Chain A
């Protein structure tokens, strides 16, 4: 535990230099995520229409917009829940358009959900261990026969899972049933589970929804810490403008499925079109 709180402080210092990672990347390396002309319609409704975005490695990127703008649909397209009508999705330069959800996860995109989706009946620890499934392996037969590989890999999994849980201050609750956690902690557990899959890109869908201001402030710290500790690229959807202004380096604003504007956070938030989109005409 002591070691952990120390590393949190170290990470804090590092955050300030975090922005430079993005700038260095611009000098010619491949962006972590590049999306071009992504569209999907449901019936007659164009839920997402010609969406573009470029996210550099290590960036903390925000996707904002009024209710029903198509933000969650963008996440569902990125993770293969829906197949896009048009467009290309490049992850680290590799085309992953139209691939299946589990393949996309294995390629390196993990997400959380707007309406929390935990494995309710499993323990907090087991929720994270399911996330480790593809990285720590033994066969079903080895598991049933309790061969040495079972004990060895399970031990590795337990250690790794506890490490992740302690990042989110959930280690003391590791034996709780996931559904017995308070709401804020459930959101954190979802992030821990997503990180367990060791992604290149982490998608967070309204991570602060339903949290009080204290919890939100704490969450901001945690997200920053995750970015530093895991050298993570993060795209997040959020309605809490304090959180967005506080941690996102760049923003894309969606309105009626289309990109209204994108750029540096401070510029975007002062854009008159953004303000009217949020307040209505």
Chain B
């Protein structure tokens, strides 16, 4: 029955992530990992989380969002801010990182809700426009945001450090405009990244295969019919969108803790980043979480791994893009894939018998 099929599919997805972790551990222990690749491991997890979470909005809810980097940015800054604030109060870096992850997810989730409430009530594709603007606004605001703390408490400014008007002796600048946040402990490890990816999968996959997930997908498939059988459209749209935003915020916190300096630059959090994540989702297949992970990891690692090939690098990248698109989106290829899969399954059954 489908229920078992779903269970197997999910197990394969979790298994794939765990296997990837094991392989990397073995390669690391045996000294087969280049330092270049080691530096890539946390971003790989981060992009996989971002792609899976965006797929919840795009593939499962069926709404286009172009502001995923904005939610990631909010998470990154609120998380890094907390970690730095609590430096003396909470000495354990691990505990601070954990608290930062929760705060980052919460902040991004609340913003998702705030954007969703006016926009998701409208019929039509307004979400794409609004989220695109939101991402840019957040990035630009944080770029001119100065926050400091002294014995009197917190100080905010949109101008520069001096206008914070802090006490000379005790004043510490926490967020320094375009220079961002420096000195965040680099607590993010590959293992933590994989754990967060597994958590994301757990939340998203269990959500999809539950009463709530069915309601969300019914809205995607036919809004009018969903309404006619009593599904609260706004509620479920908001729920999917803010969970998606919260997970992006969590990925942002992971990112912030893998850098010594966090800047709200266009490279880090611009709309290009949002579109890159969307590319992962589309290439991996709408609603296909495993595909999102594979696409995100492959396309993040590929340009780096192919660096030695110089001239052919972008060519190979382009070919991989095209092949993945065909593999995941062309009806013929999907048909072929299901035939192959059922053959394999049939073969497996015979073996058992």
Contacts and interface: CB of A to CB of B under 8 A. Distances in A.
Interface of A: 79, 81, 101-102, 105-106, 110-111, 113, 117-123, 125-126, 129-131, 133-134, 136-138, 140, 143-146, 150, 153-154, 157, 174-175, 193-194, 196-197
A122 B211 contact: no
A143 B221 contact: no
B1 interface: yes
Nearest to B212: A140
B212 A143 contact: yes
B217 A133 contact: no
A130 B229 CA distance: 8
Contact of A120 (B1, B221, B233): B221
A122 B218 contact: yes
B191 interface: no
A38 B228 CA distance: 20
Nearest to A81: B224
B207 interface: yes
Contact of A119 (B211, B212, B225, B233): B225
Contacts, number: 100
Given A143-B206, A144-B202, 10 more contacts: A102-B230, A110-B229, A113-B224, A119-B218, A119-B225, A125-B2, A140-B211, A143-B212, A145-B206, A154-B210
- Which 7 A-B pairs rank lowest in CB-CB distance, beginning with the nearest? A143-B210, A105-B230, A119-B221, A117-B225, A140-B212, A101-B227, A130-B218
B298 interface: no
Interface in B197-229: 202-203, 206-207, 210-215, 217-218, 220-222, 224-229
Interface of B: 1-2, 202-203, 206-207, 210-215, 217-218, 220-222, 224-233, 239, 287
Contact of A137 (B1, B206, B211): B211
A119 B225 CA distance: 8
A140 B207 contact: yes
Contacts of B230: 102, 105-106, 133-134, 197
Nearest to A120: B221
27 contacts: A101-B227, A102-B230, A102-B231, A106-B230, A113-B225, A113-B228, A117-B224, A118-B225, A119-B221, A121-B217, A121-B220, A122-B214, A126-B217, A130-B215, A130-B226, A133-B231, A138-B211, A140-B210, A140-B211, A143-B207, A143-B211, A144-B207, A154-B210, A157-B211, A194-B229, A197-B229, A197-B230
Nearest to A119: B221
Nearest to B223: A117
A176 B26 CA distance: 42
Count chain B CB atoms within 10 A of each CB in A110, A113, A133, A175 and give the residue with the most.
A133
B226 to A, nearest CB: 7
A129 B207 contact: no
Nearest to A134: B230
A133 B229 contact: yes
A131 B2 contact: no
A123 B2 contact: yes
Contacts of A197: 229-230
A143 to B, nearest CB: 3
A120 B214 contact: no
A170 to B, nearest CB: 14
A193 B229 contact: yes
B222 A120 contact: yes
Contacts of B225: 113, 117-119, 193
A153 B211 contact: yes
Instruction: Tell me which of B202, B203, B217, B218 has the highest count of chain A C-beta atoms within 10 A of its own C-beta.
Output: B218
Given A79-B228, A110-B228, A111-B228, A122 B221 contact: yes
A119 B218 CA distance: 6
Contact of A150 (B210, B221, B222, B233): B210
Contact of A105 (B1, B214, B215, B229): B229
B229 A196 contact: yes
Contacts of A196: 229
A146 B210 CA distance: 9
Contact of B217 (A79, A110, A122): A122
Contact of A102 (B206, B218, B232): B232
B138 to A, nearest CB: 27
Instruction: Indicate the member of B202, B203, B221, B229 with the most A CB atoms within 10 Å.
Output: B229
Contacts of B222: 117-120
A102 B221 CA distance: 17
Contacts of A150: 210
B200 to A, nearest CB: 12
